Amino acid sequence: MGYMNTATDPAGRHRWLTDEEQRVWRAYLHATYLLEDHLDRQLQRDAGMPHIYYGLLVGLAEAPRRRLRMTELAMKAKITRSRLSHAIARLEKNGWVRREDCPSDKRGQFAVLTDEGAEVLRRTAPGHVAAVRQALFERLTPEQQKTLGEIMEIVAEGLQPNEAGADLPWLR
Amino acid sequence: MGYMNTATDPAGRHRWLTDEEQRVWRAYLHATYLLEDHLDRQLQRDAGMPHIYYGLLVGLAEAPRRRLRMTELAMKAKITRSRLSHAIARLEKNGWVRREDCPSDKRGQFAVLTDEGAEVLRRTAPGHVAAVRQALFERLTPEQQKTLGEIMEIVAEGLQPNEAGADLPWLR
DNA sequence: GGCATCTCCTTGAAACTTGAACAAGTCGGG
DNA sequence: CCCGACTTGTTCAAGTTTCAAGGAGATGCC
């Protein structure tokens, strides 16, 4: 009992994970926890925000006029609109982001990266990239990197809610 | 600017990620977000608790007398003691876990899995395992599974705070 | 136009996490 | 025995996330 067991498929009963699968799964959980935790702390310390907020600024920085509609940004970051509202409120309070009304749709709002926000990014991006590089890429062979990419694309594809037709509430 | 750029190492300046590294990194972020989200919802729906709380019950179920000292459990789950205190309080309210004083150390507390807790696990584990299997293992070749395990072990090892000597504050 | 319906985003409350601070207990000298 | 240093686990406050609900504007159809 517990997470899973060693047995495979005893004629109709539950299929647990094999020992090997279990090893892989636990390694996955362990590593992804540690990495997320590591990056969250790194960014909290150096940029004063959690990883996902940083990702929002990056999303804006990459957008045409440093701006994106709330829903677009939520989709890009794969979070709910609600969560984004709260997050942007916080970033706005920090002065990294500003809200602007959408002229063509009065319901709409743009989240706009401010100069200050861009500056924070400029200042903290190198450290963040270094952290990612050091925690991940420097430790893997090119082979492993390639396989990791393939695996992650497969997994993401399998979980992708939308799939040409099944429009998703970006989310939930 | 932003997350990273395509340039490599222009004589002393910041090393960004190559295009390929960037692809891998974004795929990683995307997939791990989706998977964690997926499992969290699956467990919230079927077991009424988030993934990490489920992991705590599993940890207890695997322990000798279904019990573990708070600090041990925190280590096993790789979370802070503070977070564990809150979590156990909640699980206790649900009746899945009970606290017991440690006889040998009056500061100590055991978290003990109750029969109810064990029952919840028994009832929900198959669904959870199925979710993991379906989202991950069924989509990967044996080769990929093997490589994934290797990669995750490497990454975890690199982030492991302790390393024979550097005792860690379980955590932080 | 009138009206049902959908979309955009926000809000509020509850749940969860974090970090610092803390009471209580243990431990190892002196 | 006593005291300083450390450990154990909790608590508080602040921050974040979730979920359900809702206001306001757009849309389409009659």
Share of chain A above pLDDT 90, in %: 83
The pLDDT, as a whole number, for residue A167 is 43
Please give the average per-residue pLDDT across A124-134, as a whole number: 95
Per-residue pLDDT at A63 exceeds 80: yes
CB contact under 8 A, B148 and A147: yes
User: Which pLDDT does position A171 carry in this prediction?
Assistant: 52
User: Alpha-carbon distance A51 to A135, whole Å?
Assistant: 15
B135–A24 C-beta distance less than 8 A? no
Q: Nearest nucleotide to A41 by CA–C1' distance?
A: C18
Q: Are B47 and B126 in contact (CB under 8 A)?
A: no
Contact A17 B152 (CB under 8 A): no
Structure tokens belonging to residue B56: 């705590």
**Average pLDDT, rounded, for chain B:** 89
Residues at the strand C interface (Cβ < 7 Å): A 37, 40-41, 44, 69-72, 81-82, 84-86, 88-89, 99, 102, 105, 107-109; B 49-50, 52-53, 79-80, 82-83, 86-87, 90, 105-107, 172
Say whether residue A16 is in contact with chain B using an 8 A CB cutoff: yes
Q: Write b or e for each residue in B51-76: b if 16 or more Cβ atoms lie within 10 A of its Cβ, otherwise e.
A: bbbbbbbbbbbebeebbbebebbbbb
Query: Residue B113 is inside which H or E element, if any?
Result: strand B109-113
What residue type is assigned to position A152 of the chain?
M
pLDDT attached to residue B37: 93
The region, left, alpha or beta by phi > 0 then psi within -120 to 50, assigned to residue B132 is alpha
Three-state secondary-structure class, residue B35: helix
Asked if A162 has any chain B CB less than 8 Å from its own CB, the reply is no
| Structure-token pair, residue B111 | 């978290």
- Give the confidence band of A160 by pLDDT, cuts at 50, 70, 90: confident
Give the distance, in angstroms, between residue A42 CA and nucleotide C18 C1': 14
**Distance from C-alpha of A149 to C-alpha of B167, rounded to nearest angstrom:** 33
The A residues from 36 to 95 touching B (CB cutoff 8 Å) are 36-38, 41, 55, 58, 61-62, 78
Please give the pLDDT value at position B12: 52
CA distance A101 to A69: 9
Query: Chain B: nearest CA to A70, how far in angstroms?
Result: 19
Q: Is-contact A140 A148, C-beta < 8 A?
A: yes
* Beta strand spans in A65-108 (E): 67-69, 97-101
- Distance (Å) from the C-alpha of residue B101 to the closest C-alpha of chain A? 24
Per-residue model confidence as pLDDT tens digits over A135-159 = 999 999 999 999 999 999 999 999 9
Task: Give per-residue pLDDT as tens, B33-91.
Answer: 999 999 999 999 999 999 999 999 999 999 999 999 999 999 999 999 999 999 999 99
Taken in order B74, B79, B85, B91, the sign of the CA dihedral is: negative
- pLDDT higher than 80, residue A3: no
Question: Phi and psi of A114, rounded to 5°?
Answer: -80, 170
Q: How confident is the model at residue B15 (pLDDT cuts 50, 70, 90)?
A: confident
B89-143 pLDDT, tens per residue? Answer: 999 999 999 999 999 999 999 999 999 999 999 999 999 999 999 999 999 999 9
The closest CB to that of B2, out of A23, A121, A147, belongs to A121
